[in-house]
Amino acid sequence: MEINYKRRWEQIRSNLYDKDAFVASLPGNTRYLGNSEAPPGCPPGSTMNYVIIPKKGEPIAITSSLEEHRCRKESAIDEIKSWTHYPDIKSDGKTSIEVLKNTLKENNIEKIHVDNKIKLGRSVKSTATPFVTEMRGVKTNDELERIKKAIKQSDAGQDFAKNLVESGKNLTEKEVRVEIDYFMGRRGIQENSFTTIIASGPNAAHSHHSNTDRQLKIGDPVICDFGVFWEGYCSDITRTYFVGGEPSKKWAEIYNIVLEANRLSTEQLTVENTSHKVDNAGRKFIQKKGYGRNFVHGTGHGFGLEIHEFPSLTYKSKTIIKDSMAVTIEPGIYIPDKGGIRIEDDVLVNGKSPTILTKAEKELY
Ligand SMILES: [Mn+2]
């Protein structure tokens, strides 16, 4: 299914009220409006400095002359303006902001919505709005198709990771990481959604550990947290495995507490619920079991074009859950100097019964 950019532009136009245009400058938003299929860091989507959606007329993108060629070829936007410092190269101006100012003037655009503050001087009145950021929180079918493909790849990565870690005595975290990345790379993923995290033994006590030369030991809990991009959209999944396949009684107990917290939070992911209740459901259970201060981060976040998107699911977030939001549910318990457990799923809001999209095994044997 092709990405329907026109629908996105229309939705923005219909929420402009008295404004003449919407101007996006946040990289996730310019990609969303012009070239969703490219992963971040990949031109042209991420190199568009600005995307203008006028109330009347077609969208306009502003990019550097370096990316202009690729932009013309790949972007959903036909009108591309370019900038460069080099006088010999043909362009519409020396800087992106100069081109933006001129373009707004030429099109008689005086009042705009922006997704992020831009210094435009007095001739243009700009008002910041989270409209596009929030619009991206609700996924459409063209997006879900890509998200599901990304998840399928990281699920396969987790099946592979489980076997590798359980039989991986003496492998280093770095070795485990490259094996998993290579496995998923051979399956044709665009790229990883972030640097694959392999955190073993005491290193698993740090929620965002970076991979080291530590060798896996029998009985270690090993947190494996990664995701992939597929046609511009990402996945994010965490599983915790035990080297040798047998957790100690204590770790098994903690594992099942985290698993239950994951289930309780997922259950709260229903339309019209408030997002802090999603966090609260799992957190209260973990507190009751005596590990309240070992759950050191929020329960989850939206994901899609970017790995962290609106909405965030924390103890204080007040976002009202809407149908077709795609979020992670990722409670964890971290014991300093000993290790930790995190179990993260990607979940789609679906009326009153959330759909767990990630399928990789998470029950303890
Ligand atoms: Mn995550």
Residue boundaries of the structural domains of the chain: 5-135, 141-356
Return the amino acid letter for 91.
Answer: S
In what side-by-side order are the strands of the sheet with 345-348? 309-313, 300-302, 326-329, 345-348, 355-356
Domain 141-356, architecture per CATH: Alpha-Beta Complex (3.90)
CA of 84 to the centre of ligand 1 (A): 38
| pLDDT < 70: residue spans in the chain | 44-45
Among left, alpha and beta (phi > 0; psi -120 to 50; other), residue 58 is beta
Phi, psi of 60 (to 5 degrees): -130, 135
For residue 44, what pLDDT is reported?
Answer: 67
What average pLDDT does the chain have? Answer: 96
For residue 75, what pLDDT is reported?
Answer: 93
CA of 312 to the centre of ligand 1 (A): 10
Phi, psi of 356 (to 5 degrees): -80, 115
For residue 39, what pLDDT is reported?
Answer: 84
pLDDT tens by residue, 228-268: 999 999 999 999 999 999 999 999 999 999 999 999 999 99
Are the beta carbons of 267 and 251 closer than 8 angstroms?
Answer: no
Cis peptide upstream of residue 331 (ω within 30 degrees of 0): no
Q: 50-68: buried (b, 16+ CB within 10 Å) or exposed (e) per residue?
A: bbbbbbeeebbbbbbbebb
For residue 199, what pLDDT is reported?
Answer: 97
CA of 14 to the centre of ligand 1 (A): 33
Question: How far is residue 7's CA from residue 139's CA, in Å, rounded to a whole number?
Answer: 13
> For 5-135, which CATH class?
alpha beta
CA of 233 to the centre of ligand 1 (A): 14
CA of 7 to the centre of ligand 1 (A): 29
For residue 45, what pLDDT is reported?
Answer: 67
Residues near ion ligand 1 (CB < 5 Å) are 236, 328
Question: How far is residue 359's CA from residue 151's CA, in Å, rounded to a whole number?
Answer: 8
CA of 130 to the centre of ligand 1 (A): 22
CA of 333 to the centre of ligand 1 (A): 15
CA of 327 to the centre of ligand 1 (A): 9
pLDDT tens by residue, 114-142: 999 999 988 899 999 999 999 999 999 99
CA of 203 to the centre of ligand 1 (A): 18
For residue 16, what pLDDT is reported?
Answer: 96
Q: What is the percent of the chain with per-residue pLDDT over 90, rounded to a whole number?
A: 92
CA of 288 to the centre of ligand 1 (A): 24
